[in-house]
A and B are shown apart, each in its own frame.
Chain A
Amino acid sequence: MDNRAETLTATGIPTGKIGVWWFLASEITVFGGFIASYVVVRLGSSGWSEAASHLNFTLALINTFVLLTSSLTMVLAFAAVEERAPKRLRTFLCLTILMGLIFLGIKAFEYTGEIVKGFTPGAGIFWSFYYGMTGLHALHVLGGIVVNLVLLVAALRDTLRPNEHRVELAGLYWHFVDIVWIFLFPLLYLT
């Protein structure tokens, strides 16, 4: 019965894919709303660059590379599905999850450093946005890690079989989270 959704299609596009794209469309407006608020409020007042200069640029740069690389491994995981190479699929899913965790670890380390210096979420409007936007993004990374873990467990148990396309769907989401970071990084760290 649950396969019905995947097999009956009036447009020829897999139903799951349409669902994920609509989901991403709504996610874009969540981050879009946050980013637009940030830009508008920032344009209306001063003192933001000074606050931003206290951020740890080096760590964020490393994190950007980690997340970008994890998108690559996610693509390679999907390529492994298409080439029917289950072993490589597991490896690349593992790597993607690992890099997601590294990203969160570095982010937590960054937060700690800032809070120790006194830049808590209540330290000013820049810090409100900084913690709000990166925090929401980190939650999305965590969500992506959970999704990939579910896929990995299924791959290890060999129960992924009729639903391998889910790797592609998880990949769409993972790339989306990556792209959000591509926006957040310059907006917060480079201005």
Chain B
Amino acid sequence: MSRDLSRRRFLSGAAAIGGGALLAGCYPTADPDVHTVLKVGEDLTEATQRFFLKPTSLAREFTEADISPKFRANGTRMPDSPEYAALAANDFADWRLEVGGLVENPATYSLADLRAMPSRTQITRHDCVEGWTCIGKWKGVPLAQILNAARLKPEAKFVVFTCADELVKTLDGTGRYYESHGLEDAFHPQTILAYEMNDRPLPIEHGAPLRLRAERMLGYKMPKYIMKVEAVDSLAPFGRGKGGFWEDYADYEWYAGI
């Protein structure tokens, strides 16, 4: 069974890599030098927005009347692992959030623990990189609270979120969804670990039991099905090293403020 699975993973991973190389070979944007030049645009955008964004600059919040009647789900709609299925079957009572990495106080939280903590509720815009927008109401624990309780070590520069969903089956597990943020966005008041959407427990298609909201960024920077939060000083050890699943696999920008 497990041998069969790993063989399947290997084959589909090999197919994905081969297909990617084939695609990449035909287009100038895949050339490393061209890529380096084009990346100047992303760097300029990040530097400019970070210069003007204050820690207190908030994304617009809306009213109940603005909430989208149908909030489109994107990416994984149902993680297809037996482990996740078991957690979901039990209403995530056995799910634990692991907080670790470069922190003084590693911790684990159950969903009940998170629900017992002070929360923040916000009605915000969800801007997908594809161009569409939905408005939803989110309730959750400010990430800053979790990080403050964990006490980041001074060398921590990023916060990495590891998820339960695997978008691409690979031998080494680099097809698993993950994302990362710099500390400015991790500690932003609207950055929350949300367990409720539109006054109901977070639905599976939107990332149950816990997803990130980082409201000054595009949707792919808000991972769903979060299992682990880690403070790190480098993104290199994660996935293929670019700081997120879509960054690794499709070359999306790490800074997604535009």
**Are A and B physically bound partners?**
no
B interface residues (Cβ-Cβ under 8 A, vs A): none
